[in-house]
Amino acid sequence: MAGSGPVLLLIHGIGDDSSTWGPVLDELARDHTVLAPDLLGHGGSDKPRGDYSIGAYANGMRDLLSVLDIDRASLVGHSLGGGVAMQFAYQYPERTERLVLVGAGGVSQGVSPALRAASLPFADLLLPVLGWPGVRFQTELVLQLAQQLDTGLGRDAEDFVRLVDALPDATSRSAFLRTLRAVVDWRGQVVTMLDRCYLTAGMPTLLVWGADDMIVPVEHGRTAHAAMPESRLEVFERAGHFPFHSHPQRFLTVLREFLATTKPAHWSPAEWRSLLRTGRTDRASGSPRAGRTVADDGPPAPRTNGTQVARVAHGR
């Protein structure tokens, strides 16, 4: 937790922890109160035999804000954290000021084959093998080759190795698998935000995706953009699943511009009730609508239809 000012809640992805926000956290803390917790089952937080569903994580973020006496926040969620941020906004719209989804999970079924495989039975017996010296060395060689060949896989090579190293013991691996199996099976992602995206009408929403994302393809970002009224989509060229690592200054510029040019959402029970009664509209079901798509280092596309940081360890 660092800084002062409007609150930003940064939610990391699966297998990761709060340190992932290191390249951008100090800069954001210059004029915001920045919270970067370790989700339950991750980093320094507890790893119990418990509920690792998206809804449970959203409840955990609500409880964390309540303990810290924070009523509202703008949420920035990466990967799994994007799904948690979206679920939080659905469950607690009155506590959500803005949404920023970075390579977010939970848009549609498609997901990396590696994550599908990890969700299968007996994966808990295979995961430890990745840490064996010989296997780890070969994995690093493959990733280094991917980097040299300038492939999409190579964009996130260092992060992939880091995530494998973040599962050093059986307890960590068990928590990882419980989390993964709550959202992914052999067919792909089992949860989707698309049936409730229309409820983001009036919620300032920014989508950030790497054009070469091998975990959650950029097509998911475009699908979410089409389904979320008035959202902004920023596509970072030559970036993978961690655009805030490969392009931290670009990410900070985009995020700061979004925060500066939008006002916190105003939640109205009457409007929420009306949206729920009306249900999905053509705009919310993915048809073209007014919005903005921006490619990395390029101008906005024309409007068309269409300090010292102390870690907060949640659960400790």
Catalytic residues, which ones? 79, 213, 241
Q: Which of 89, 107, 100, 79 is nearest to 12 (CA)?
A: 79
Q: Which residues of 115-138 are buried (b: 16+ CB within 10 A; e: fewer)?
A: bbebbeeeeeeebeeeeeeeeeee
Question: How far apart (Å, rounded) are the C-alpha atoms in residues 90 and 191?
Answer: 14
User: No. of H helices and E strands in the chain?
Assistant: 13, 11
What is the longest distance spanned by two Cα atoms in the chain?
60
Burial of 168 (0-12, 13-18, 19+ CB in 10 A): exposed
DSSP string, 165-195: HT--SHHHHHHHHHHHHHHEETTEE---SGG
d(CA 151, CA 153): 5
Per the CB < 8 A criterion, the answer to whether 208 and 71 are in contact is no
Q: What is the dihedral of CA 168, 171, 176, 179, to 10 degrees?
A: -170
Could you identify the residue written with the tokens 């990890």? 118
| Residue among 313, 245, 285, 267 nearest 79 (CA) | 245
60, two tokens:
């955990």
Q: Strand pairing partners for 99?
A: 75, 205
